[in-house]
Structure formats: structure tokens, C-alpha cells
Amino acid sequence: MSDLIISAVFLAILIAPCVIASFTGHSVRKTI
């Protein structure tokens, strides 16, 4: 069970930046 949670958290950490970037890509572009 702990292994599943760890792998899920690891996947979330890897995928989260891509999802956030795709969602807020335009606003991030404006700020930068």
C-alpha cells in the first residue's frame, strides 16, 4: 500500500507541472 502511495505521489509530482503549465500557459507567458 505504501509503495502505491509513493508511486502515485511521484507520478503526481512529475505530471503536475505539465498540467499546470497547460492550464496556465497563457497567463505564465504574459507574466514572463
| Cell 502515485, located at residue | 8
Decide if pLDDT at 31 tops 70: no
Sequence spans of domains, the chain: 2-31
Q: Are 1 and 8 in contact (CB under 8 A)?
A: no
pLDDT (tens digit per residue) in 7-23: 999 999 999 988 888 88
Q: What is the pTM of this model?
A: 0.50
Quote the pLDDT of residue 20: 84
